[in-house]
A and B are shown apart, each in its own frame.
Chain A
Amino acid sequence: MTTLPAKTEKKLGLVIDLDTCVGCHACVISCKGWNTENYGAPLSDQNAYGADNSGTFLNRVHSYEVQPAGDAAAQLIHFPKSCLHCEDAPCVTVCPTGASYKRVEDGIVLVNEYNCIGCGLCAWACPYGARELDQAEGVMKKCTLCVDRIYNENLPEEDRQPACVRTCPAGARHFGDLGDENSDVSKLVAERGGMDLMPEQGTKPVNKYLPPRPKDEMPEFDVLAPFLEPVAEEPKGFLGWLDKTLEKL
């Protein structure tokens, strides 16, 4: 199983809009909640109420400050990151037990926890930090793209999407088939210049990131800005103008 399928029927994945993500961590906790209760072992927490507390999360939101050249203001960009379900997923091929695999039907990269020996090599092979070894269960956990939601017949049709997408308040997360160029997500990627993370790693991520739109580019005008041409310099003149204007109304 550790070999990758030559081709998958679909390329299901996420499109994450960095122009819109406000960094609220809603996706992080929604993911934690769903995946603690569902697919495989729960996502455990260590020292939950003490010092050095840590736990398994499948999705984490980073933030970066970007300083443009010149004297433009620094920007802050929130950056959610989970498994990118790469086409050339290095985490799959390194697995010695076949626990890690990429599904033929939709390209989702999964871990069959019953076969996982917890060697951690897949996490070593992943450049994105998408895999975390659960400290209680001793097996590797990762984003399943909510494979137990997206086809789940016990959920209403509209809820058959990953928990993180369903919950995102700003609508910064989109889910769909990136292998279908007519899908909404593919169109969004085309329109907004969706990008790969670490393309040089050759992993061919399925998930795409929409870059932030240019910021702080409102043109600054001098005193005579369009729309701000004074009607009068003095209050008196202003009232004269007012009278005239009201006449016209």
Chain B
Amino acid sequence: MNQPVINLSPKVSDEVRKTTCYMCACRCGINVHMKDGKVAYIEGNRDHPVNQGVLCAKGSAGIMQVNAPSRLRKPLKRVGPRGSGEFEEIEWDEALQIAADWLEPVRQTNPEKLAFFTGRDQSQSFTSFWAQNFGTPNYAAHGGFCSVNMAAAGIYTMGGAFWEFGQPDWDHTKLFMLFGVAEDHDSNPIKMGIGKIKKRGARVIGVNPIRTGYNAVADDWVGITPGTDGLFILSMIHCLMKAGKMDLTYLAQYTNAPVLVINNPGGADHGLLMRDENGKELVIDRKTGKLTPFDQPGVKPDLAATYDKDGHTHRPVFHQMAEMYLDDQYAPENVAERCGIPAKRIRAIAAELARVAFKESFELDHTWTDFRGEKHTKMIGRPVSFHSMRGISAHANGFQTCRALHTLQILLGSVEVPGGFRFKPPYPKPATAHPKPHVGMNAGAPLNGPHLGFTHGPEDLALKDDGTPARIDKAFTWENPMSSHGLMHMVISNAYAGDPYKIDVLFMYMANMSWNSTMNTRGVIDMLTDKDENGEYVIPKIIYSDAYSSEMVAYSDLILPDTTYLERHDCISLLDRPICEADAAADAIRWPVITPDRDVKGFQSMLCELGAKLNLPGFVNEDGSQKYADYGDYIVNHERRPGIGPLAGFRGENGDQAGRGAVNPNQLDRYIENGGFFVEHIPDGANYYKPWNMAYQDWAVKLGLYDAPLPYLFSLYVEPMRKFQLAAEGHGERQPPDHLRERIKATMSPLPIWYSTEEDNHAKDYPVTALTQRPMAMYHSWGSQNAWLRQLHGHNPLYVPTKLMRAHGLQDGDWARVTSPHGEITVPVLEMAALNENTIWTWNAIGKRKGAWALEENAPEATRGFLLNHLIHELLPPKGDGLRWANSDPITGQAAWFDLKVRIEKAAAPAESQPGFAPIKSPVGQGPKDLIWKVGQ
């Protein structure tokens, strides 16, 4: 036949530049295909440890992001009232001078008057370094409203959590159980993992009120009642313990289950772990029957033996667990209704966990030596693995729920074993190896240490001498003693209320606080625009940096425009949130694969400049000149400890050292040659049992992850929590305020518990739970300015379960009024059958304010799209005691987004989603009508 001749081998690109994606926080490697110096096509980098070549919709749509019409072009100075969107463009010199003029007096007089918070920032080791040098105690990133419960519960319990901390052993696991929405973190690796285990025909169990995404492909879906995951998990723990289906050897050797708990009712040490003079936890050795530190050679800790002393019987942690979890309150029959899961199903799942963990167990032939010096010839596989992220975190009982999940994994002996959950370097790293929070302030000088960390008792709280909170967000206070990531969601609210104090400058990065990144959007807008009796703004000065014309821009006084992710240096550092895999340490860079066509500066580079202008010690040379020309310069030349810098790869003068080594001036080039990343593999035999495996410990020291081997026991029993309870019981010098005593006693149980958050959220009058999740093709509000992605998700219906649709006479396309104790919205609804029958949900952050993101004002994001944020308050509904109770987890301060309770009713269709907001003036105009995109010829 006479077919047209087509060119089957067209030129793909002039050049491929390999860097790291930033369309979400997944940090995949990307190949950026260039034609005529422009981005022509983006695909995944096959060699990259995170994504191994695959790439999600967001990543492939990067080309629309770096060319988005909403990009800010030049520094802006507000000229109209806050919120009007009226700005004038200024030069960088002027912009940085304004910032310095605002910040310098704050630094010299009272550094706490600067609140410096970063949103979707992944350079926290750098930004916190900057804030430390400035001297303000008020620094954090966005973890407090994201997933701190998961991270903190994991680190306190076992020295690491999910995502950046670890991953299922995808190659060996035979049962994967997923709790809650998890599509938005570590998204490609999880999809790859699910694909892998599906290929093997292994079972996936999804526990989520909503059956979308990963839950849609789960073999079994458990449409649980939101907020009851902890109870469900404890019920499975009940079943497993009752049946003796636990890995007793594992529990005895690697966890604090055998550690003795001091029994001294009424005493100041009651409930603390028994320790020797060196602070080592004590156990009874099964062989000798004697009390001994847990880590001595040859010790076989006994889970059952008790110890009598001073007229008291001191029992091991495991006894307390048995007593607690064998209680009938956790029997499936007694939790079934509350969880919305039939008792039989709870048992079936528990039985399946037990079957796979113990009947499908297997062994890998690896010889390894544990920290007691015992040599093992095999590694025993427990092929059950779990994953969870924000779904179970974002509740006021989230910390304990996450703890329960980790406890379940540990009982099955499936953490850090073949087929189970595996840590990624620099984890495992116990809470005790992390810094403690620091708030020691001296005007004109740096802070006395890192801001964020882990508290181990009342002595570590960030309180002033008068007992009031030292931090503006009240992190590490009695309200939330273990708030390891800070509470970004409380900053504006507290600063506005002057509780604990007023501030002068609010400096934020990539945080859309006047829209989707805040609770109580309307209220926050008012706080940002409200003036005091002198006619000054209550929050006097706001500096904001973002690459795009987000809603927050209009509410700021000075805009320092950032670059897009392809125009900048970044490092995804082992000091911070690296891209390691269970078998390797890895880090990565971003580098400017294109040059900005606008007058913008990378945020971190700008901070290098501003830091020097402010004379911050870490940012100037001895002669007072600027130390780091830009962030790239910092990445290469900064040393945190001698020989340890932001990047672990290609160190030393010849670039042949990994982890530790002198500064290599050519380090960035070496990264670029290597595809933008660096990988150092963990040797065979060192890659399981990492917390206790001496080969791993030695490797980690060599790489600079630790300075000395750091074996430790998993904390089924978290002793610091007991210390806070003791304080609440009246022991110790630092005492909580009376109104918090009962709550601390009730919630800070050192063994995981479950408590309902329904009453605080008035569930009686608002019986339906309302949830949000991110679509996999869209991340944050950024996605909606993306011409390709916004076609996928241009507006967000409210999904309502069939039963509620019928009960309220609703049909697809109708509108409903949704009311919470805090506010109401009127939005379009669609029916969904595969949904918990008492839960409604929508996609997060699709709704837009008119005038933002360079969209036309009639864009569907602004007319049909909506935010649930209007229904959620940063405070709980008033309790009548005049106190401000945060809508947060009482342990970590995690924003309790998913505790939202509402009621729903049919409403007449309004012209647009309600509440409506007046348009803001776009500082960048609007995008073009049509796109006919082709870079090459």
The interface of chain A, by Cβ under 8 A from chain B, is: 1, 5, 17, 19-26, 28-30, 32-34, 36-39, 42, 44-51, 53-55, 57, 63, 65, 67, 73-78, 101, 103-104, 110, 112, 115, 136-137, 147-148, 151-155, 158-159, 163, 166-172, 212-213, 215-223, 225-235, 238-239, 241-243, 245-246, 249
Contact = CB atoms under 8 A, between A and B. Distances in A.
B21 to A, nearest CB: 12
B355 interface: yes
A246 B41 contact: no
Contacts of B846: none
Contacts of B275: none
A187 B311 CA distance: 72
A49 B69 contact: yes
Contacts of B221: 73, 75, 215-216
B855 interface: yes
A243 B316 CA distance: 13
B195 A169 contact: yes
A41 B7 CA distance: 14
Interface stretch (B142-150, B211-219, B886-894): B211-219
Contact of B220 (A148, A151, A215): A215
A229 B350 CA distance: 11
5 contacts: A30-B60, A32-B788, A46-B930, A220-B345, A245-B248
B244 A241 contact: yes
A44 B57 contact: no
Contact of A42 (B195, B344, B785, B933): B933
A73 B223 contact: yes
B640 interface: no
The 8 closest A-B pairs by CB, nearest first: A49-B927, A74-B833, A169-B191, A50-B856, A171-B195, A170-B195, A24-B776, A231-B244
B907 interface: no
A223 B41 CA distance: 57
Nearest to B212: A76
Interface residues of B, number: 119
Contacts of A223: 347
Classify the secondary structure of A's interface with B: loop
Nearest to A43: B933
A224 B626 CA distance: 72
Given A24-B187, A78-B217, A235-B326, 19 more contacts: A22-B216, A23-B213, A25-B776, A29-B789, A33-B42, A46-B930, A49-B927, A55-B791, A76-B212, A104-B3, A154-B9, A166-B43, A170-B198, A215-B221, A217-B219, A227-B245, A231-B242, A233-B242, A242-B248
Contact of A152 (B8, B242, B855): B8
A167 B348 contact: no
A226 B504 CA distance: 64
Contact of A33 (B41, B249, B354): B41
Nearest to A230: B242
A2 to B, nearest CB: 11
Nearest to A213: B219
Contacts of B794: 53
A155 B859 CA distance: 40
A228 B69 CA distance: 60
Contacts of B3: 1, 101, 103-104
Contacts of A29: 57-58, 60-61, 777, 788-789
B7 A148 contact: yes
Contacts of A30: 43, 55, 57, 60
Interface string B145-169: 0000000000000000000000000
B199 A171 contact: yes
A42 B934 contact: yes
B763 interface: no
B776 A242 contact: no
Given A220-B345, A220-B347, A228 B245 contact: yes
B681 to A, nearest CB: 22
A153 B930 CA distance: 34
B319 interface: yes
Interface stretch (B46-54, B427-435, B462-470, B653-661): B46-54
Contacts of B347: 220-223, 225, 228
B6 A147 contact: yes
B212 A234 contact: no
B302 A246 contact: yes
A135 to B, nearest CB: 8
Contacts of A21: 217
Given A167-B44, A218-B348, A231 B243 contact: yes
Contacts of A19: 198, 217
Most A C-beta atoms less than 10 A away, residue of B7, B215, B930: B930
Contact of A238 (B55, B218, B326, B776): B326
Given A49-B855, A154-B11, A20 B342 contact: no
Contact of B9 (A49, A153, A249): A153
B304 A167 contact: no
Contacts of A172: 195
Contacts of B242: 228, 230-233, 238
Contacts of B858: 50-51
Contacts of B61: 29, 32-33
Contacts of B35: 37
Given A45-B931, A49-B928, A154 B12 contact: yes
